[in-house]
């Protein structure tokens, strides 16, 4: 990633693992090289709006659910954290 460019965080690796999609399959679906998926997952490359929207379509999720300018909280914390909050409020 060029210096000075803000890092875009994403959930691609988690979503891909969750749906059991390989990098090659995902790359073919959105029309990029499979190495580009690796770059995206590591945060080494920020996608264009077009590519971000195509990825959103593949996972049937809005772009902001996949990409964020802030780091995503770990999934375990999101799932169990909210469950604990609900228990606490009862």
Partner 1 sequence: MKPELPQGTRAEKVAFVRNLYREQQLGRAKIKMARTKRRWIVAGLAAVIALTVAGQLAVGLSILPERKALGVLWALLGVQAIFFVVLMYAVGNLTQLDWVLDEREQAQRDRAMAIAYRILMVALALVAIAVLIADLAHFRPMQTNQVGVPAYVGQALWVVFSLPLGVMAWMLPDPEPDL
For residues 17 and 73, which CB has a smaller minimum distance to partner 1 in the complex? 17
Q: List Cα–Cα distances, 79 to 59, 65, 67, 86, in angstroms.
A: 19, 15, 19, 11
Q: Which of 7, 18, 19, 35 binds partner 1 (CB under 8 A)?
A: 35
| CB atoms inside a 10 Å sphere around CB 57 | 12
Measuring CA to CA, which residue among 17, 74, 49 is closest to residue 57?
Answer: 49
57 contacts partner 1 (rule: CB under 8 A): no
Q: Which stretch binds partner 1 (CB under 8 A): 16-24, 56-64, 66-74, 78-86?
A: 16-24
Site for partner 1, rule CB under 8 A: 2, 22-24, 27-28, 31-36, 38-40, 44-45, 47-48, 50-51
């Amino acid at each position: 990633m060029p210096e000075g460019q803000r890092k875009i965080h994403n959930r691609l690796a988690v979503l891909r693992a969750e749906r059991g999609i390989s990098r090659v399959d995902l790359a073919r679906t959105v029309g990029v090289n499979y190495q580009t998926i690796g770059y995206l997952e590591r945060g080494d490359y920020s996608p264009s709006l077009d590519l971000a929207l195509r990825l959103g379509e593949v996972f049937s999720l809005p772009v902001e659910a996949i990409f964020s300018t802030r780091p995503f909280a770990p999934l375990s914390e999101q799932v169990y954290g909210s469950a604990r909050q609900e228990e606490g409020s009862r």
